[in-house]
Structure 1
Amino acid sequence: MEDITKNRPDLLKDQDFISGLLTFIELMVDNLEGSNDWNEVTTGGDYEDLEGPQSLSFHRHGYKTFFDIMLNTYKGGPGLPNLDIKLNTEVKVIRSPQHPTEKVIVECSDGSTYVADNVIVTVSLGVLKAKKSSLFSPPLPKDKQTAIDKISMGVLDKVVLAFDEPWWTQNVSRLLFIWKEADKNKVPVSDLWTTKILGASRPMGSSNTLTLWISGNTAKEVEALPEDTVKAKCVELLQKFVGDTLKITVPQPNAILRTTWYSNPHTRGSYTFDNTLTPDYPDARDWLASPILDSAETPRILFAGEATNRRHFGTVHGASETGYREAKRLLPDIAK
């Protein structure tokens, strides 16, 4: 890493550069955490990186590959068709029993009811924040409610633009946008969200698409904008930072796909991060993960999901780890 105080002292005198650089670094943090402001993020969390490559591509096959691996499909496992999955059925309330002979009752918005010995809840923390008072009967224990209140749910959205063919040089894998304050001041207030897009990257499984990354409150704002507006402004942004440099006109995309993790009532955010309250509530994720017991101390309602993972929160592998954790709690023999 270059020491600018030694090798480029002139840069320290360029306040416009320093301001733009600090804003860019903050966006880097916000995009990693899904935070609104890097001052929300603690430096004292328990997160651990997973060993091995940090980028993974399923080569156009999508997350179906992940399920095939979990279900051992490649070695004769049952596969998804043999699972009893009920889609498009919103859970209204989960009723936990107190007596060991009673069942857990799950009531749905369409009037259907399901009865089981145990239920594993895997909804996001965002959903728990929005529905913790109505989703469970009787109400959740105090420590679990505290955990839901104190852990932060971040937002990181993607805007994917597809073009007829790549118009950028093939050795470009990532574009990063750093604004000068003078240029930012020329942007209309209604378009200031474009100055808070970290950059664009090429998905590993596609050669003709670019993914733009937006975090925090800016992501929430962009989710509410018309799709045509988002597409047009993103093209303008690419033209300013890339097209003008390459002396080309950025073409219109033939398709746009964007995430709406915050406005989706069944997610209400992307993933959690450790905030500045974490040092005061170091066991909050463990509280969230603890099962609800009946009078015989038997787990009846269990909780999984990335938010309940103390080390690998915010990740798919972290979420899957918690699923195994709760399955082992119910079926201890599989842990052997």
Structure 2
Amino acid sequence: MGIGSAGIGGPVCSTVPRDCIGATWWRSVQGEPVKRLTAGHPQGTTRKHQCGPPSSRDRQADPSVPYGDTDIRLILRTLRIPGVRLSTNLCVELGAASVGDSSKDYDTIVVGLGAAGTAASSTLARAGRRVLALEAQDRVGGRVHTVPLGDGVVELGAEWWQTKTFSVKNDSTSIKSMTMFLSLTSMFRLSIGREEDKALMIELIFYALKIRDESPATPQSEGQYVTDRVLEYVKDKHPSAIDNKEFLNEFFHLMDTVADAYEGTTSWYEVSTDSRYEELGGNQYMSWHTYGYKTLFDILLNTYNNGPGLPTLDIKLNTEVTAVSWSQDPTRGVTVTTKDGTTYTADNVIVTVSLGVLKERHESLFSPQLNQKKKTAIDKISMGLVGKIVLLYSQKWWSSNSISFIWTSDDERLLAGDEKWLYNVTNASESMGSPKALVFWTCGNTTKVSTSLTVPFPHHFYVCRTYWNTNPFTRGTYSYDNLLTPQYPTARSDLAEPLTDSSGNPRVLFAGEATNPTHYSTVHGAVETGYREAARLLPKSN
């Protein structure tokens, strides 16, 4: 659900459930030319891209267009060459970070400066609290990562601000009222053979997207539920199509990747229909455009438009926390130890690291160890994985800002062994902040495979990809409701519950998208939890 979440899902039909009019669809048909990828491309300005051994048909293709009259596999095969990783000096830094003093007393220490940590830190600092924020990476933002590319910026992390109705106020500035937002709009076209197949495919897509939001009385996997309902629908409305196994297999493969794009899963059979996610009103796919998602953090930290920052907030980057020690004795504070051995003390600590990091480190991170209720929550909630491969072209050759791919069984069989993962790459989108960049989306195990490839990329491309699964400070992108959700309905609330001393004072608090019972997997959900935990520590107003 959501993010794009900590919103990363792609903006095509497979990730725009309520407004599925935003994608161009391509189908590759072996031995038969498909729609030419030439719309809006100046003739003769881009050489034909050679990806793998060229076939005789490749050699006959028009050299003035990227791929000529050939099939979409050649575009997707370029993705098997992941290219270079962006160097850290390309990261957009958010203002000057002040240096924390280990001898200084703080009211609160915040571990992590992603969306939740930044919201919590800034809220407390604006209230006059002395706050130390410790971030393991060399930048602010967490799973939001804006980098310069081409004529603008691209988002390697969260992509979408998912509603107009959720605003972040910064004194006289409200994100809701800023002009940086541009909605995703594009044409919806389908090229899959017979006209009746096209019409039925569109009809079934809309039907499946509608019913995937339903919650049947008996929880089951989303894959099983949608498959059963669609087959019933086809038998009732289009009985002649029920024996068209190839068509139905193509459709269900597409819808499987729809769910994966939402949840970051490998299969929609991993996702439960028993979801607590609640969608806020307004447009779910708002873009920060050329401003970049980093602007959210500039505003929260009061550094937007060269703002002065927050005087009672100290920030230390490149500072990995290795231990959080606390006691139920009300007279003692919390001690936070970093990798270099430095210790900091405060009245309390807000831990905002990702669920993936908690899964990997919670036993060594907390002293005393977490209670069984929290351990169970960490174990039973699942962490999803969405990846991006960004290609920067010298000229824009696509005609609409999102593309989806429908694969046939023949297409899959023609893929070489090290290309099989491409079968699950089903959508791409134009970067809203860098119009000559095309973002290809991957999910689950497909992302793990794509990030493990090391073949050099052709010189006429610039490419970057994401590494959220191998990043030791994220270990994934965002959480989702797995098949265990009905058995552990309070897991997210249990994870969010603070640890208190014997007098009931909160000492160790938890924030982050995975702790939000209804808006998990989104940036706005993460921000909400930062506000929530800051509010626990501030006097209640009447």
**Under a length normalisation based on structure 2, what TM-score does the superposition of the two structures give?**
0.55
1:217 aligns with one of 445, 449, 458? 445
Alpha-carbon distance, 1:74 to partner: 6.6
Alpha-carbon distance, 1:217 to partner: 1.2
Q: Distance in 2 between matches of 1:209 and 1:5?
A: 42
Alignment correspondent of 1:85: 315
**Distance verdict in 2 for CA 1:266–1:73, change over 3 Å:** closer
Please tell me whether the aligned partners of residues 302 and 310 of structure 2 are also in contact (alpha carbons under 8 angstroms). no
**Distance verdict in 2 for CA 1:75–1:223, change over 3 Å:** closer
Equivalent residues in 2 for 1:1-336, closer than 5 Å: 2=203, 11-71=241-301, 78-79=308-309, 83-169=313-399, 172-226=400-454, 228=456, 254-333=461-540
Q: Distance in 2 between matches of 1:166 and 1:80?
A: 42
**Distance verdict in 2 for CA 1:75–1:254, change over 3 Å:** closer
Q: Distance in 1 between matches of 2:305 and 2:409?
A: 57
Q: Distance in 1 between matches of 2:532 and 2:260?
A: 30
Alpha-carbon distance, 1:24 to partner: 1.1
Q: Distance in 1 between matches of 2:257 and 2:525?
A: 24
Please tell me whether the aligned partners of residues 27 and 198 of structure 1 are also in contact (alpha carbons under 8 angstroms). yes
SS in 1 for 2:324: strand
Aligned amino acid, residue 221 of structure 1 = V
Alignment correspondent of 1:248: none
Work out which structure has the larger RCO, using CA pairs closer than 8 Å and 6 or more positions apart in sequence.
Answer: 2
What percentage of aligned pairs have identical amino acids?
Answer: 49
SS in 2 for 1:30: helix
Q: Distance in 2 between matches of 1:224 and 1:77?
A: 41
Please tell me whether the aligned partners of residues 302 and 326 of structure 1 are also in contact (alpha carbons under 8 angstroms). yes
SS in 1 for 2:252: helix
Segment drifting more, 62-71 vs 185-194: 62-71
**Distance verdict in 2 for CA 1:82–1:98, change over 3 Å:** closer
Alpha-carbon distance, 1:198 to partner: 2.1
Aligned amino acid, residue 477 of structure 2 = S
**Distance verdict in 2 for CA 1:105–1:214, change over 3 Å:** same
Segment drifting more, 304-313 vs 62-71: 62-71
Structure with the higher helix share, 1 or 2: 1
Where in structure 2 are there 5+ consecutive unaligned residues? 1-201, 205-233
SS in 2 for 1:84: strand
Aligned amino acid, residue 348 of structure 2 = N
Deviations 1:7-66 (A, max 9, x none): 765543331121111111101101110112111111111101121111122221222311
SS in 2 for 1:129: helix
Alpha-carbon distance, 1:115 to partner: 0.9
**Distance verdict in 2 for CA 1:8–1:174, change over 3 Å:** farther
Aligned amino acid, residue 296 of structure 2 = F
Alpha-carbon distance, 1:82 to partner: 7.4
Alignment correspondent of 1:235: none
Deviations 1:302-325 (A, max 9, x none): 000000000100000000000000
Alpha-carbon distance, 1:298 to partner: 0.8
Deviations 1:279-308 (A, max 9, x none): 111100000000111122110010000000
SS in 2 for 1:286: helix
- The total of aligned residue pairs comes to 312
Aligned amino acid, residue 520 of structure 2 = F
Alignment correspondent of 1:245: none
Please tell me whether the aligned partners of residues 31 and 198 of structure 1 are also in contact (alpha carbons under 8 angstroms). no
Backbone CA RMSD of aligned residues:
2.2
Please tell me whether the aligned partners of residues 162 and 253 of structure 1 are also in contact (alpha carbons under 8 angstroms). no
Q: Distance in 2 between matches of 1:51 and 1:161?
A: 33
**Distance verdict in 2 for CA 1:73–1:109, change over 3 Å:** closer
Deviations 1:45-103 (A, max 9, x none): 11011211111222212223112333466799753797421101111111012211112
Aligned amino acid, residue 19 of structure 1 = N
Please tell me whether the aligned partners of residues 279 and 519 of structure 2 are also in contact (alpha carbons under 8 angstroms). yes
Deviations 1:186-244 (A, max 9, x none): 1112111111112101122221011101001111121222263xx56xxxxxxxxxxxx
Q: Distance in 1 between matches of 2:311 and 2:502?
A: 37
Please tell me whether the aligned partners of residues 295 and 304 of structure 2 are also in contact (alpha carbons under 8 angstroms). no
Please tell me whether the aligned partners of residues 335 and 345 of structure 2 are also in contact (alpha carbons under 8 angstroms). yes
Aligned amino acid, residue 2 of structure 1 = E
Q: Distance in 1 between matches of 2:499 and 2:312?
A: 29
Segment drifting more, 35-44 vs 283-292: 35-44
Please tell me whether the aligned partners of residues 33 and 154 of structure 1 are also in contact (alpha carbons under 8 angstroms). yes
Aligned amino acid, residue 527 of structure 2 = S
Q: Distance in 1 between matches of 2:384 and 2:396?
A: 32
**Distance verdict in 2 for CA 1:80–1:167, change over 3 Å:** farther
Q: Distance in 1 between matches of 2:487 and 2:512?
A: 22
**Distance verdict in 2 for CA 1:109–1:227, change over 3 Å:** farther
SS in 2 for 1:13: coil
**Distance verdict in 2 for CA 1:154–1:65, change over 3 Å:** same
SS in 2 for 1:261: coil
Where in structure 1 are there 5+ consecutive unaligned residues? 233-251
Q: Distance in 1 between matches of 2:397 and 2:421?
A: 24
Aligned amino acid, residue 259 of structure 1 = T
